């Protein structure tokens, strides 16, 4: 296979163990490869400014890396504890952030702990230093075996972009000229937003990663990419969320140990297909928690998601878009992505959007395939009973909505809806399902006891006809 970014004939997208080519069939010319990228472990040495830790977390989320260790000049750890933490983390990259001159001595302490802990690590991790020349020189003296590079202030967009570029270069290492999946998705979101003239939020869940991307028509893109997924990283979702948080989304009684068995087996079975309804429910539950944790991590890192919540367009890709029923993709998305207004939810099954995004990421003119519109979701929390008017090819339908309502209004042809207390009239040319009115309130609260939780979930699933009937 010829690898080239020039005159690309097809794009090859890597999944867990298989690859898909767009257009399908044997390659007839140069191929551009899209890969998830290597796992990159990053450890950070932080000065006193409390804004450094969130900035570091934001940078690693945006760059799709894993933040495996944070040591601070004032974290109270001893020299040996810091060295052990860094050694166990086995970092591929170290980021030292010391914007204040008063951090010099503390930063040298951390650099010495780094040399003590990771002095024999092969290859020695590069150190990116965001500090003045004096601090950089002191760190270089303490860690002579490590290559030192300067980094702009990570609290600024320029610093973050520099870190993201460095992390992506590391994730591509030894892979030749390739496009990372998250790069491709960001380029696709940017392009879709520009052509729609509206904000676009994109949710991508694969076996090994979860991305939440928000693009504005002016070209600015915010991307959060985490190693949480429904396949190879499924066990990481359980480790992060806890088994009960995954289990609570399954609309039937399931024993926790048996559920964990399924998660572990899926994690070690690349590209496995959920052949049973229960396995499919588990995949949906894992997707919910993966997205929820990506969003929570972003908020913890100080990322404002208000604009993303308010996006009028929500596009679903990856495994999330490949669930057999559109209602399944839709329910997973709206259960955890709490949009603040009416949102047109679409999905792009297959890899065509990723392929077009990869070409766009390489600066090539690429036409974004139109995703399939599933539904307009109107989220509301009315103080008293309110009326939603839906107009489609069959005429006008009115629905009374009270708190807790969750219903689907099937539609045909062009759709427009009128919501109470707003002059915005969301519309679409056609929808696979129709209009979903979601008055469940946010954050969603699920009863803890199975006796109440399962009927609640069953009601939500039945409203959208999410799961097929099981043969017993």
Partner 1 sequence: MPWRYSRWTADHPLSLGAGERAAVGQEVHAGDVLAAGTTYGTPVRVTGARRLGVAPEDLARVMRVPVGGEVERKTVIARTGRRFARAVSSPLAGRVIHQRADGDLFVAPIVGRWAVRSTLDGEVSRSDDACVSVRGSAWALQGVAGYGPNAIGEIALAVDSAAGELQPSRIDVRLRDRILIAGARATAESITRAHACGVAAVVAGAAPAGGLRVVYGDEATASGATTGPDAPTVLCLIGFGMAPLPRDVFAPLAALAGARAAVHTASARLFVFAPESAGDFAQDPPSLALSDDWLGARPIDEQLTLAGVTRFASEIEAEAVATKDGAVPVANVLAFDAPRTPRS
The residue ranges that bind partner 1 (CB under 8 A) are: 14-18, 35-39, 78-80, 83-84, 87, 108, 112, 115-122, 138, 141-142, 144, 171, 175, 207-208, 231-232, 234-236, 239, 256-258, 260-280, 282, 324-325, 468, 470-471
CB of 255 to partner 1, least distance (A): 9
CB of 450 to partner 1, least distance (A): 18
Collapsing DSSP states into helix, strand and coil, what is residue 108? helix
CB of 107 to partner 1, least distance (A): 12
| Interhelix angle 326-336/450-464, nearest 10 degrees | 130
Tokens linked to 241: 């969320």
> Dihedral, CA atoms, 428, 430, 431, 432, nearest 10 degrees?
-160
Separation of alpha carbons 273 and 280, rounded Å:
8
Tokens linked to 150: 């300067």
CB of 127 to partner 1, least distance (A): 14
Separation of alpha carbons 158 and 153, rounded Å:
8
Tokens linked to 45: 């040495």
CB of 389 to partner 1, least distance (A): 33
CB of 104 to partner 1, least distance (A): 12
Q: Given the complex with partner 1, which of 18 and 449 has the nearer CB atom?
A: 18
Collapsing DSSP states into helix, strand and coil, what is residue 24? coil
Q: Given the complex with partner 1, which of 144 and 404 has the nearer CB atom?
A: 144
Q: Given the complex with partner 1, which of 221 and 243 has the nearer CB atom?
A: 243
Q: Given the complex with partner 1, which of 409 and 466 has the nearer CB atom?
A: 466
The DSSP result for 255-312, as a single string, is -HHHHHHHHHHHHTSTT----SHHHHHHHHHHHHHHHHHHHHHHHHTT---HHHHT-S
CB of 439 to partner 1, least distance (A): 29
CB of 459 to partner 1, least distance (A): 21
Q: Given the complex with partner 1, which of 38 and 153 has the nearer CB atom?
A: 38
Separation of alpha carbons 105 and 305, rounded Å:
37
CB of 352 to partner 1, least distance (A): 19
Q: Which residues pair with 78 in a beta bridge?
A: none
Separation of alpha carbons 103 and 135, rounded Å:
8
Q: Given the complex with partner 1, which of 389 and 461 has the nearer CB atom?
A: 461
Burial status of residue 93 (CB atoms within 10 A of its CB: 0-12, 13-18, 19 or more): buried
CB of 208 to partner 1, least distance (A): 6
Q: Given the complex with partner 1, which of 276 and 422 has the nearer CB atom?
A: 276
Q: Given the complex with partner 1, which of 14 and 310 has the nearer CB atom?
A: 14
CB of 35 to partner 1, least distance (A): 7
Collapsing DSSP states into helix, strand and coil, what is residue 94? strand
Residue the block writes with tokens 């009028």: 312
Q: Given the complex with partner 1, which of 384 and 471 has the nearer CB atom?
A: 471
Residues 6+ apart with CB under 8 A from 210: 203, 204, 225, 226, 228, 229, 287, 290, 291, 293, 294
Half-sphere exposure of 349 (CA within 13 A, CB side): 11
Tokens linked to 30: 């140069």
Q: Given the complex with partner 1, which of 4 and 175 has the nearer CB atom?
A: 175
Q: Given the complex with partner 1, which of 145 and 424 has the nearer CB atom?
A: 145
Q: Given the complex with partner 1, which of 78 and 445 has the nearer CB atom?
A: 78
Which strands, in side-by-side order, build the sheet including 66-72? 66-72, 41-46, 93-98, 126-131, 148-150
Q: Which residues pair with 43 in a beta bridge?
A: 69, 94
CB of 65 to partner 1, least distance (A): 13
Half-sphere exposure of 329 (CA within 13 A, CB side): 30
Q: Is the separation of the CB atoms in 331 and 347 below 8 Å?
A: no
């Amino acid at each position: 296979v010829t690898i080239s970014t020039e005159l690309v004939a097809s794009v090859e997208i890597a999944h867990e163990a298989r690859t898909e080519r767009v257009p399908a069939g044997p390659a007839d010319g140069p191929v551009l490869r899209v890969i998830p990228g290597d796992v990159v472990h990053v450890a950070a040495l932080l000065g006193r400014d409390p804004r450094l830790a969130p900035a570091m977390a934001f940078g690693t989320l945006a760059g799709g890396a894993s933040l495996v260790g944070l040591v601070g000049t004032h974290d109270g750890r001893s020299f040996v504890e810091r060295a052990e933490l860094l050694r166990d983390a086995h970092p591929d990259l170290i980021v030292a952030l010391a914007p204040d001159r008063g951090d010099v001595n503390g930063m040298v302490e951390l650099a010495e702990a780094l040399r003590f802990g990771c002095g024999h690590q092969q290859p020695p991790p590069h150190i990116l230093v965001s500090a003045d020349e004096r601090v950089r020189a002191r760190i270089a003296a303490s860690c002579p075996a490590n290559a030192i590079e300067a980094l702009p202030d990570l609290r600024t967009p320029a610093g973050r972009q520099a870190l993201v570029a460095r992390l992506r270069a590391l994730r591509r290492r030894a892979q030749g000229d390739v496009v990372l999946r998250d790069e491709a998705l960001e380029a696709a979101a940017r392009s879709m937003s520009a052509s729609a003239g509206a904000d676009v939020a994109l949710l991508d869940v694969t076996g090994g990663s979860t991305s939440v991307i928000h693009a504005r028509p002016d070209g600015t893109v915010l991307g959060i990419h985490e190693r949480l997924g429904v396949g190879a990283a499924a066990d990481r979702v359980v480790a992060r969320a806890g088994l009960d948080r995954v289990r609570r989304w399954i609309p039937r009684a399931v024993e926790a140990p048996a559920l964990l068995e399924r998660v572990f087996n899926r994690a070690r079975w690349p590209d496995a297909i959920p052949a049973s309804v229960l396995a499919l429910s588990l995949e949906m539950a894992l997707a919910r928690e993966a997205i929820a944790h990506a969003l929570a991590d972003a908020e913890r890192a100080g990322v404002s998601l208000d604009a993303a919540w308010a996006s009028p367009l929500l596009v679903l890709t990856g495994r999330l878009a490949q669930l057999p029923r559109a209602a399944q993709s839709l329910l997973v998305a709206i259960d955890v992505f709490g949009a603040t207004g009416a949102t047109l939810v679409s999905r792009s099954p297959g890899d065509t959007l990723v392929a077009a995004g990869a070409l766009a990421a390489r600066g090539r003119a690429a036409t974004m395939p139109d995703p399939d519109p599933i539904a307009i979701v109107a989220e509301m929390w009315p103080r008293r009973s309110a009326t939603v008017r839906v107009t489609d090819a069959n005429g006008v339908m009115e629905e009374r909505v009270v708190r807790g309502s969750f219903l689907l209004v099937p539609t045909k042809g062009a759709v427009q809806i009128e919501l109470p207390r707003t002059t915005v009239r969301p519309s679409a040319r056609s929808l696979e399902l129709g209009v979903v009115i979601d008055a469940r309130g946010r954050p969603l609260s699920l009863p803890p006891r199975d006796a109440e939780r399962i009927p609640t979930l069953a009601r939500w699933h039945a409203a959208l006809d999410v799961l097929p009937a099981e043969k017993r």
